[in-house]
Amino acid sequence: MSDAPVLPPAPPAPNPKPVIPPKPAAGNAVSQERRQFIFTWLGLAWTAFALATGTALSTVLRFMFPNVLFEPKTSFKAGRPDDYEIGKVDERWKEKYGVWIVRTLEGIYALSVVCTHLGCTPNWLEGEQKFKCPCHGSGFYKTGINFEGPAPRPLERLRISLADDGQVLVDKSKKFQQEKGEWNDPESFLTP
C-alpha cells in the first residue's frame, strides 16, 4: 500500500465564454458624423478655392490680353488736290473711310456717306447728278443738300485741310452741319 496523499479532484474547467463582437460604441457614430461634416466642409472649401483661383486667373489673362477695340482711323491722307477732277464726285474713299471727296471750281470738300435719315449709305448717280439713298429714297445734291425723301437735313461735311506734304488731309472726327451754318467754317472747305 502506498502512503501517497490522495489529491482532491480538479475543479471542472470553466465553460468558455462565447466571443461577442464589440458593439459599436456611441462615440463611433459621433466621430463618423464628424468625419462627414469635415469632408463636406473640405469639399466646399476646395470648391471655393477653385472658383477664386479661376476668377483670379481670368483677371490676369484679361490683363495680359486687354480688350482692345480696333477702330478705323479717323483721319487719312487722300492724295494731292490735283488728283481730283473738277466737277466730279470721287468715290475712291467711300468703302474704306466712308467719305466722298468733291472738287468744284471753288475748292474741295469731304462728304460723309451716312444718310441723315436713318444712316444708310446712299449711292452717287453720275447720270442724275445726285446721291440716292437705297433705303427710303432720300436724294441729295452734289453739294450734300437734301431735296427729296425723308432725310431731314443735308449730308455732313468733314474737316479737310492740306497736310505738310501737300496732300489732302481728311479728319472724320470733326463734322460740319449745313443747317447750323457750319459749312462756312474754313475747315469744312479746302481752297487749294
Beta carbon nearer to ligand FES, 75 or 123: 123
Residues in contact with ligand FES, counted by CB under 6 A, come to a total of 13
Contact 160, 169 (CB under 8 A): yes
**Binds ligand FES (CB under 6 A): choice among 113, 151, 155, 160:** 151
- Per the listing, cell 460604441 goes with 25
User: Of 107, 105, 149, which Cα lies nearest the Cα of 130?
Assistant: 149
Residue 114 within binding range of ligand FES, rule CB under 6 A: no
What CA–CA distance (Å, rounded) separates 186 from 175?
A: 12
Provide, rounded to whole angstroms, the least separation between the CB of residue 60 and ligand FES: 45
Provide, rounded to whole angstroms, the least separation between the CB of residue 134 and ligand FES: 8
**Binds ligand FES (CB under 6 A): choice among 99, 111, 115, 170:** 115
By residue count, the chain amounts to: 192
Residue 98 within binding range of ligand FES, rule CB under 6 A: no
Residue 135 within binding range of ligand FES, rule CB under 6 A: yes
Find all residues with CB under 8 Å of 134, minimum gap 6, and list them: 120, 121, 122, 123
The answer for 98, left when phi > 0, alpha when psi is -120 to 50, beta otherwise, is: left
Sheet with 130-132, strands from edge to edge, namely 123-125, 130-132, 139-140, 146-148
Provide, rounded to whole angstroms, the least separation between the CB of residue 83 and ligand FES: 29
Residue 120 within binding range of ligand FES, rule CB under 6 A: yes
Contact 154, 116 (CB under 8 A): yes
Residue 112 within binding range of ligand FES, rule CB under 6 A: no
Residue 169 within binding range of ligand FES, rule CB under 6 A: no
Beta carbon nearer to ligand FES, 116 or 188: 116
Residues that bind ligand FES in the complex, under the rule CB under 6 A: 115, 117-120, 133, 135-138, 149-151
